[in-house]
Amino acid sequence: MPANEKITLKNATVGYKKSGGDIAILDHINLSFYEGDFVGIAGLNGTGKSTLLKSLCGLLPLLSGTLNINGIAVNELSLEALAKKVGIVLTERVGGFNLTAYDIVAAGQMPYTGSFNRLNAEHLAVIESAIDQCGIRNHRHKPANELSDGLFQKTVIAKALAQQTPILLLDEPSAFLDYASKHDLFLLLKQLAQQDKKCILVSSHDLDLVLKYCNKILLVSEKGAELLPVAEATQSDTFKKIGGGFI
Amino acid sequence: MRSVNIIKFSVLVLLCIVGCILSLLYGGSEPVQAASISSSDFIFWQIRFPKTITAIIAGSTLSVAGLILQVMFRNPLAGPYVLGISSGASLAVAVSIFAGNAFHLFSDFFIGKSFIVFAAVAGSFLVTVLILTISKKINSNIVLLLIGLMFSQICGAMQMALEYFADPNSLKSFVIWGMGSLSNNTNDDLLIYVPLALVCTIALLFFVKPLNALLLGQNYAQNVGIDFNKNRFYLILISSLLTGLTTAFCGPIAFIGTAVPILSRMIFSSSKQHLHLVSCLLIGCIILLFSDALCNSLIQNVSLPINMITTFIGAPLVIYLMFKNKHW
């Protein structure tokens, strides 16, 4: 196994456990993602992009097959160890209970703090730099439920950065962002992949952004999941179908 | 800690001490002259003193149980009373009191305080687990509260059936218990109540980090390394123990569990749950101590039910929050 392999799916079936029989969304897929990869996940609505992301971070157990993170099977990793390896950005909104944007970003340091969650100077420095990287310094003391959708999205991305993980999984992070912020975000992710050698997977419907910034595209369709370099992906029939002939 | 918070906490501690004094002096049919208290004063040491201690423990346990429930359900209106958890405890106590009288052989065992405590804890645990199972399928905070209301109605109806067939003696003792009262406990009862409540509260200190993480919801909590299922189980267990204990010793007490965490979040604009844990302990004490002094001194020679006062404090707060739901 190459040393820089970050995520490996072997013969994996992704889906939901139901009492009336499992619902497999993606069947027997084999994928490998490496450090420095910036992968855009493209697929029509309901093809299983979010389900795949939830499986890759261990939130949703695989129906069969194995998932290795950094070469270690995910069920052999403690939750805390996993938290230091994979950071996620989901589409759900959280807030209330006096939570501020800062509190959400600070949660990213939880895997590194003790049982009373005390933050020392080192933790605080990481949180501050994540806040600056995502450009939310002026909004950090606002209540989380009063943030606009775009600012909230940036806050959760800052949380994932504060988690200092070599792997970042983002579920439609550009959905609520304005045009400039979308490009800012993808540029930031591209830098993180290239300079910090992070392995980043982003699901997105913004195909033009994916084409412009990502180095690989994971095409998700009813036929399964296919990982291709950007140049090859644009030639594939699946991609043309996802683009609907408009791209 | 910020100096503003230190001042706020100092005020709370001060109010707590004032509440203790008021409850000790005015928490009965007639005020006690502070100067006349001697070490052998029966009324003071056997009636007022256990009642004040009961108020302190009941106020703090219910408030903390409410705080846990609100965080766990991510619902600022949750609480042991509104979710029907207190009713579950009541029903279990009713069953044990009536069963105790029906089977005379075991009556000592069934009506003994420790069995009532066990029954109340089991009842509240069962309802909490039921509500939690349902809440996974429901996203609306309001619907969840309505389901809690339905649970307390169902428990109430079952209780009514039991009461209908009960003999007069056990009926009377149950109805009096069901009104909720701080004055049912002797100093001997406190020897069980206080240590158990303390142990639960101290155990909770080890769950401060999970509580903070749970505010972000199950997915994000797991992603920052918090074992959601394990922590949720222990938190349910602790909140059921706290609710069950206090319900066993004082009967169902209304709205404290809902109102106090809300007040705490209004006073301290922080999301740190260790801060709210301490402030809920203090505010819970203060409210019950003052309520106790109030219900004994509003009308001369009449001791009003404690639930009347706590409902007047709690229910308007819930209504207020519904209107102002932006700051949930």
Q: How far is CA A220 from the centre of its chain?
A: 15
Measure the CA–CA gap between B257 and B244, rounded to whole angstroms.
13
pLDDT single digits (tens) A130-145: 999 999 999 999 999 9
Cβ of A104 and B274 within 8 Å? no
Report pLDDT digits (tens) over A193-244: 999 999 999 999 999 999 999 999 999 988 889 999 998 888 888 888 888 8
CA B137 to CA B102: how far, in whole Å?
Answer: 40
Residue of A nearest to B210 (CA): A115
Q: Hey, are the CB atoms on A79 and B225 less than 8 Å from each other?
A: yes
* A16/B contact by beta carbon, under 8 A: no
Q: What tokens appear for A223 in the block?
A: 């036929």
What would the pLDDT profile of B156-187 be if each residue is shown by its tens digit?
A: 899 888 888 888 877 877 777 778 888 888 88
Q: Is residue A18 within 8 angstroms of chain B, CB to CB?
A: no
- CA B219 to chain A, closest CA, distance in angstroms equals 7
Residue B294: predicted pLDDT = 87
To the nearest whole angstrom, how far is the Cα of B227 from the nearest Cα of chain A? 7
Q: Do B328 and A145 touch (CB under 8 A)?
A: yes
Question: Which among B247, B243, B242 is positioned nearest to B181, based on CA atoms?
Answer: B247
**A219 has a chain B CB within 8 A of its CB:** no
**pLDDT score of A1:** 45
Contact residues, A window 113-152, toward B, CB-based 8 Å cutoff: 113, 115-117, 143, 145-146
Q: Is the pLDDT of residue A151 over 70?
A: yes
A111 near B CB under 8 A: yes
Residues B206, A111: C-beta atoms closer than 8 Å: no
- pLDDT confidence of residue B41: 76
Taking the Cβ of residue A181 and every Cβ of chain B, the question of whether any pair is shorter than 8 Å is answered with no
The predicted pLDDT at position B327 comes to 47
Interface list for A 157-176 with B (CB within 8 A): 159, 163
Q: How far is A243 from chain B (nearest CA, A)?
A: 31
Distance from CA of A53 to the nearest CA of B (A): 12
Q: How far is residue A86's CA from residue A60's CA, in Å, rounded to a whole number?
A: 14
Is residue B40 very low, low, confident or very high in pLDDT (cuts 50, 70, 90)?
A: low
In this prediction the ipTM stands at 0.93
pLDDT in the model for residue B105: 52
Whether B110 has a pLDDT exceeding 60, the answer reads no
Query: Does A3 score more than 70 pLDDT?
Result: no
pLDDT at B19 over 50: yes
pLDDT at B279 over 90: yes
What average pLDDT does chain B have?
Answer: 85
B328/A97 touch (CB, cutoff 8 Å), yes or no:
yes
| Chain B residues near residue A90 by CB distance under 8 angstroms | 219-220
Is the separation of the CB atoms in B160 and B267 below 8 Å? no
Which range has the top average pLDDT, A80-89, B29-38, B146-155? A80-89
Task: Pick B213's closest partner by Cβ from A54, A110, A163.
Answer: A110
pTM: 0.90
Distance from CA of A92 to the nearest CA of B (A): 9
In percent, the amount of chain B with pLDDT more than 90 equals: 37
- What's the pLDDT at B163? 84
pLDDT-derived band of residue A177, with 50, 70 and 90 as boundaries? confident
Does A2 have pLDDT greater than 80?
A: no
Q: pLDDT tens, A91-118?
A: 989 988 999 999 999 999 999 998 888 9
For residue B213, the chain A residue with the least C-alpha distance is: A107
Nearest-CA neighbor of A49 among A85, A25, A78? A25
Residue A97: predicted pLDDT: 92
pLDDT tens digits, B57-105:
999 999 999 999 999 888 888 888 888 888 899 899 888 877 777 766 5
Chain A residues whose beta carbon lies within 8 Å of the beta carbon of residue B212: 107, 110, 117
Residues of A whose CB is below 8 A from B227: 79
Confidence at B216, pLDDT banded by 50, 70, 90 = very high
Of residues A92, A98, A110, nearest to B224 (C-beta): A110
Q: In what order do the strands lie in the sheet with A86-89?
A: A86-89, A167-171, A199-203, A38-43, A216-221, A224-229
Q: Report chain A residues whose CB lies below 8 A from the CB of B76.
A: 96-97
Supply the pLDDT for residue A171.
95
Any long-range contacts for B145-154 (C-beta under 8 Å, 24+ apart)?
Answer: B145/B75, B145/B77, B145/B78, B145/B82, B145/B83, B148/B78, B148/B82, B148/B83, B148/B84, B148/B85, B149/B82, B149/B84, B150/B84, B151/B83, B151/B84, B151/B87, B151/B88, B151/B127, B152/B81, B152/B84, B152/B86, B152/B87, B154/B84
Q: Do B74 and A96 touch (CB under 8 A)?
A: yes
Instruction: Please give the share of chain A, as a percent, with pLDDT higher than 70.
Output: 99
**pLDDT recorded at residue B328:** 45
